[in-house]
Amino acid sequence: MSSQPQNPKYFLGFSLIDVVGAKRFKQIYAHFNDLELAWQASTGEFIRAGFSEKLASQIVAQRNKINLDEQLERLNRLKINFITLESPEYPALLKQIYDPPFVIFYKGTLNSIQDEFCLAVVGSRKFSPYGKQITQDIVSNLAKNKITIVSGLALGIDALAHQTTVEAKGRTIAVMGCGLDQIYPAVNYNLAQQILNSFGALISEYPPGVGPLRFNFPMRNRIISGLSLGTLVIEAGEESGSLITAKSALDQNREVFAVPGNIYSTTCQGTNDLIKQGAKMVTSAQDILETLNLKQVTAEITSRQILPDSPEEAKVLEHLSAEPTHVDKLLQLSQLSSAQLNATLTMMEIKGKIKNLGGSNYVLAR
Per-residue confidence (pLDDT) for residue 305, from 0 to 100: 66
Sheet holding 354-356, edge to edge: 325-326, 361-364, 354-356
Backbone angles phi, psi at 336, to 5 degrees: -85, 160
pLDDT tens, position by position, 268-307: 999 999 999 999 999 999 999 999 988 777 666 655 667 7
The rounded percent of the chain whose pLDDT value lies above 70 is 95
Residues 288 and 295: their CA atoms lie apart, in Å, by 9
Class of domain 311-364: mainly alpha
Residues in Cβ contact with 49 at an 8 Å cutoff, skipping those fewer than 6 apart: 27, 28, 31, 32, 41, 56
Instruction: Answer yes or no: same fold for 1-77 and 311-364.
Output: no
Residues 225 and 118: their CA atoms lie apart, in Å, by 9
Residues in Cβ contact with 20 at an 8 Å cutoff, skipping those fewer than 6 apart: 14, 28, 59
Residues in Cβ contact with 247 at an 8 Å cutoff, skipping those fewer than 6 apart: none
Residues 109 and 196: their CA atoms lie apart, in Å, by 8
Residues in Cβ contact with 302 at an 8 Å cutoff, skipping those fewer than 6 apart: none
Per-residue confidence (pLDDT) for residue 323, from 0 to 100: 67
Q: Could you tell me if 316 and 345 are in contact, meaning their C-beta atoms sit under 8 angstroms apart? A: yes
Of the candidate CATH numbers 3.20.20.70, 3.30.2350.10, 3.30.365.10, 3.40.50.450, the domain formed by 107-300 belongs to: 3.40.50.450
| Domain residue extents for the chain | 1-77, 107-300, 311-364
pLDDT tens, position by position, 226-270: 999 999 999 988 878 899 999 999 999 999 999 999 898 888 999
- Measured in residues, the chain has a length of 366
Q: How confident is the model at residue 89 (pLDDT cuts 50, 70, 90)?
A: confident
Residues 213 and 147: their CA atoms lie apart, in Å, by 30
In whole numbers, what is the pLDDT of the chain averaged over residues?
A: 91
DSSP 279: P
Q: Could you tell me if 349 and 355 are in contact, meaning their C-beta atoms sit under 8 angstroms apart? A: yes
Q: Could you tell me if 210 and 179 are in contact, meaning their C-beta atoms sit under 8 angstroms apart? A: yes
Residue by residue, DSSP assigns 119-170 as: EEEEE-SS--HHHHHHHHHHHHHHHHTTPEEEE---TTHHHHHHHHHHHTT-
Residues in Cβ contact with 157 at an 8 Å cutoff, skipping those fewer than 6 apart: 121, 122, 123, 124, 125, 127, 131, 135, 151, 234, 235, 242
Per-residue confidence (pLDDT) for residue 308, from 0 to 100: 84
pLDDT tens, position by position, 22-64: 999 999 999 999 999 999 999 999 999 999 999 999 999 999 9
Residue by residue, DSSP assigns 43-93 as: HHHHHHTT--HHHHHHHHHHHTT--HHHHHHHHHHHT-EEEETTSTTS-HH
1-77, CATH topology level = DNA polymerase; domain 1 (1.10.150)
pLDDT tens, position by position, 176-194: 999 999 999 999 999 999 9
